[in-house]
Amino acid sequence: MMDANQVAELRRFIEQLKLNPSLLHDPSLTFFKDYLRSLGAQVPKIVKTERDYEDTPETKPSFSPSYDDDEVAESDVELDDSDVVEPDNEPPQPMGDPTAEVTDEDRDAAQLEKSKAMEAISQGKFDEGIDHLTKAIMLNPSSAILYATRATVFLAVKKPNAAIRDADMALQFNPDSAKGYKARGMARAMLGQWEEAAADLHVASKLDYDEEIGSALKKVEPNAKRIEEHRRKYQRLRKEKELQRAERERREQQEAQEREALSALKDGQVISIHSTSELEAKTKAAKKASRLLIMYFTATWCGPCRYMSPVYTNLATQHPRVVFLKVDIDEANDVAAAWNISSVPTFCFIRDGKQVDKVVGADKGSLEKKIAQHSSSK
């Protein structure tokens, strides 16, 4: 049960739809639109304004996807719906009890009612014919031909939903009822359900083709084909949009990683390295940022290192776009071993992950010269 607030919200929503039926074409309401159509409702087409065509050189609508939006807005499909009728929303017609036991007398009586119905129909008395067929169905509620026959009369009086209900019953009792498929296909065509109509009429044609089915297919198939082409077009566009969104997310993730890497480089500061994993992370970050990286190998017991350490720190402040690393060979001996460090202080110059130069010893002049040379080389 819906509470009073939910009912009130639903009522307000319906009032909005009455004022602006085009709301039904909102992509988020596709499920609701499909549900209405399943009940036989006819969803109004979008009324286009001049703005919809201001970028179009011809009068036919065209679609130009906007790659700034995540959703693809579908244009309307041009269909020939000149024979579409308003759906009949009357209460369902009597169907009888399909579990009831039917005697021979019942079948004979049902046949008599059917004969009366056909006579009335031949005189154009469709309502009287429907009444007789309903009596026949109540007498023999499991007869597929009776339901299919009444369905054709409902078609004659433009009641496609009633015809579909009867056709469904006919096919329930006889899945190979050509008359049932034909009636349902023509009823669906009346409601503008072109793809479903085409499917039913094709089955009817295979079971028992006649000229009326062929004529109906000539009307239905072009519309069904346009809808299928329209669907494929927008499926393709949505796929393209998904790929674009995935690529954009990939770029954004990559840019975020690069920003994070740059923030870890600490411009103007000397970064201490304690492990090979830390060194790899900083080397990758420097490579992504296209920066020169210098590794200063030192040791606490090294006298020349104590002289070069403040010089190195001062150079870091002078060259904020250069990455200055510091490695204690006793603390991070795996890093020292990987770089074959045999004496300290040693300064290794790295560009794009590869060593491009080296300074060994407490040579302040050579260090300054190499930094100036390699920091401006790219």
Average pLDDT for 234-247: 90
Active site annotation includes 302: yes
Antiparallel, parallel or unpaired: β 270-273 and 323-328: parallel
Question: What pLDDT was estimated at residue 82?
Answer: 83
DSSP per residue, 42-72? -PPPPPP-GGGGTT-SSSS------TTSSSP
Q: What distance, in Å, lies between the first and last C-alpha atoms of the chain?
A: 72
Name which residue leads in pLDDT, 147 or 33: 147
Average pLDDT for 114-135: 96
Residue pair 293/265 in contact (Cβ under 8 Å)? The answer is: no
Average pLDDT for 112-140: 96
Instruction: Say which amino acid occupies 299.
Output: A
Instruction: List the Cα angle 97/102/106 in 5-degree steps.
Output: 105
Active site annotation includes 348: no
Instruction: Say which amino acid occupies 266.
Output: K
DSSP secondary structure code for residue 323 in this structure: E
Average pLDDT for 136-153: 96
The sheet with strand 270-273 has its strands ordered as 270-273, 323-328, 293-298, 346-351, 354-360
Average pLDDT for 207-219: 94
Pairwise CA distance, residues 74 & 78, whole Å: 12
Question: What pLDDT was estimated at residue 26?
Answer: 76
Active-site residue identified among 110, 120, 191, 302: 302
Question: What pLDDT was estimated at residue 1?
Answer: 59
Active-site residue identified among 171, 204, 285, 305: 305
Report pLDDT digits (tens) over 76-96: 777 888 889 999 989 999 998
Residue 33 pLDDT > 60: yes
- Range with the poorest average pLDDT among 67-71, 92-96, 290-294: 67-71
Confidence of residue 254 (pLDDT cuts 50, 70, 90): confident
Pairwise CA distance, residues 207 & 225, whole Å: 22
The residue behind tokens 């200055």 is: 324
Which letter, b or e, does each residue of 185-206 get, where b requires 16 or more Cβ atoms within 10 Å of its Cβ? bbbbbbbbbbbbbbbbbbbbbe
Confidence of residue 376 (pLDDT cuts 50, 70, 90): confident
Average pLDDT for 41-51: 56
Pairwise CA distance, residues 40 & 120, whole Å: 28
Confidence of residue 59 (pLDDT cuts 50, 70, 90): very low
- Range with the poorest average pLDDT among 42-56, 135-149, 238-252: 42-56
| Percent of the chain predicted with pLDDT > 70 | 89
Question: What pLDDT was estimated at residue 378?
Answer: 59
Instruction: Output phi, psi for 152, to 5 deg.
Output: -65, -30
Q: Across the chain, how many H-helices and E-strands are there?
A: 13, 5
Average pLDDT for 108-114: 96
Residue pair 319/375 in contact (Cβ under 8 Å)? The answer is: yes
Report pLDDT digits (tens) over 181-199: 999 999 999 999 999 999 9
Residue 103 pLDDT > 90: yes
Question: What pLDDT was estimated at residue 65?
Answer: 40
Confidence of residue 72 (pLDDT cuts 50, 70, 90): low
Beta bridge partners of 326: 272, 296
Residue 141 pLDDT > 50: yes
Record the pTM.
0.51
What is the pLDDT of the chain when averaged over all its residues?
86
